[in-house]
């Protein structure tokens, strides 16, 4: 059985790490370079760096910041935010990112996934999907959750896999920042629909929440969290030791 991954997420706005609830009420929680160094020392398996305002404001992710983070860590690192072309992805990978995450641009142009796969390989391509439940249907959103699309979560996830994505990062907007647990039933269904790894995001508030989504209850391949790590609610070494006791395979 493959080891489950623990992935801190650094949401970046104006060069600072921020965190909110349901994608709103953002608060500054620290310097991204220093946080990246800390999580690397604390045995995080990977990091995700998302410039959450890049698409909204029509900007590109700060390549220089990606370079600084890459210089200070030795674990895999995914970068997203404002990536809308092959050139954007190439610049970030050249700056030191191991993977790029695309979201809004992929929903507009799924062929971008295919183009990135051909040039950089599936292992370098993460497709992030943000969705919320509306009248019983999980609807995909873009632009940091600001726009609701006509796409449905599960059919879009299947299309993303067919186009060549290496993994899916799914965030439930309904759970984001609430610390009330992940949408486990949704992740379980996603794992049945696609064969590529699924990263769970949105709702981590306790070790139990993370254990649930990584176990048969949620079947996610990795758990991404922000608030609980940024505010020191749970330390990654403690989390991994507890998960190990629960027979959830993790790297120590």
C-alpha 59/C-alpha 216 separation (Å) is 40
Q: Two tokens at 142?
A: 């873009």
Per the listing, tokens 């600072």 go with: 16
Q: Please tell me which residue in 51, 130, 209, 212 is annotated as part of the active site.
A: 130
Q: Which of 162, 168, 206 is nearest to 187 (CA)?
A: 168
Radius of gyration (C-alpha) of the chain in whole angstroms: 16
- The bridge status of strand 24-30 relative to strand 47-51 is unpaired
- CA 161 from centre of chain: 16
Q: Is 130 an annotated catalytic residue?
A: yes
Q: Is 176 an annotated catalytic residue?
A: no
Q: Please tell me which residue in 11, 51, 88, 212 is annotated as part of the active site.
A: 11
Per the listing, tokens 């984001």 go with: 176
∠ CA 105-17-138, rounded to 5°: 45
Q: Is 99 helix (H, G, I), strand (E, B) or coil?
A: strand
Q: Are 203 and 2 in contact (CB under 8 A)?
A: no
Q: Two tokens at 140?
A: 């995909």
Q: Which of 206, 150, 146 is nearest to 182 (CA)?
A: 206
Active site residues: 11, 130
């Amino acid at each position: 059985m493959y080891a489950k991954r623990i992935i801190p997420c650094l949401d970046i706005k104006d060069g600072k790490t921020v965190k909110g609830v349901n994608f709103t009420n953002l608060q500054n929680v620290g310097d991204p370079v220093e946080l990246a160094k800390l999580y690397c020392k604390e045995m995080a398996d990977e990091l995700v760096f998302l410039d959450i305002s890049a698409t909204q404001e029509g900007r590109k992710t700060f390549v220089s910041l990606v370079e600084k983070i890459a210089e200070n860590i030795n674990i895999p690192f995914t970068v997203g935010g404002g990536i809308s072309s092959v050139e954007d992805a190439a610049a970030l990978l050249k700056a030191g990112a191991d993977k790029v995450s695309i979201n809004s641009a992929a929903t507009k142009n799924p062929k971008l996934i295919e183009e990135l796969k051909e040039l950089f390989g599936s292992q370098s391509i993460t497709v992030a999907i943000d969705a919320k439940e509306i009248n019983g249907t999980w609807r995909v959103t873009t632009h940091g959750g600001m726009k609701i699309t006509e796409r449905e979560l599960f059919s879009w996830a299947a299309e993303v896999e067919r186009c060549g994505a290496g993994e899916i990062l799914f965030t439930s907007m309904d759970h984001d920042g609430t610390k009330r647990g992940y949408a486990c039933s949704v992740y379980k269904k996603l794992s049945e629909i696609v064969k590529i790894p699924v990263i769970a995001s949105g709702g981590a508030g306790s070790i139990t929440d993370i254990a649930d989504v990584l176990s048969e209850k949620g079947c996610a391949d990795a758990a991404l969290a922000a608030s609980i790590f940024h505010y020191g609610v749970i330390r990654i070494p403690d989390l991994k030791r507890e998960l190990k006791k629960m027979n959830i395979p993790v790297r120590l």
